[in-house]
Amino acid sequence: MHPKKKIDDLLELVEDGIFAVYGVVTGIIGGEEWWYLACKCHKAVIPDSVAYYCNSCVKHIFQVVPRYVWFILLESML
Ligand SMILES: [Zn+2]
């Protein structure tokens, strides 16, 4: 389980990481692509003939998974 953080705590963080953030979703920001095909390293891949290329792994891969990105408006839970 990832460490829990409040929204205000995120503003003060100096380190990167994955955190569980609790709040109320008050909206979804549209206009961006909400999914992409990804390598097992979670980076986006580029279609290349019969395979995909991962710039992060610097190789062609054959198995990709869809990953989702949502930009949301989140309100603190007190
Ligand atoms: Zn990769």
Per-position pLDDT tens, the chain of length 78: 899 988 888 888 888 889 998 889 899 887 767 889 999 999 999 999 889 999 999 999 999 999 988 888 988 876
Say how many Å lie between the CA of residue 57 and the centre of ligand 1: 4
Protein residues placing their CB within 5 Å of the ion ligand 1? 39, 41, 54, 56-57
Q: How far apart are CA 57 and CA 66, in angstroms?
A: 17
Q: What is the pLDDT of residue 23?
A: 87
Quote the ligand 1 centre to 64 CA distance (angstroms).
9
The CA-based angle 1-54-63, given to 5 degrees, is: 70
The whole model's pTM is what?
0.58
Q: Please give the distance, rounded to the nearest whole angstrom, from the Cα atom of residue 43 to the centre of ligand 1.
A: 6
In terms of Cβ atoms closer than 10 Å to its own Cβ (0-12, 13-18, 19+), residue 45 is buried
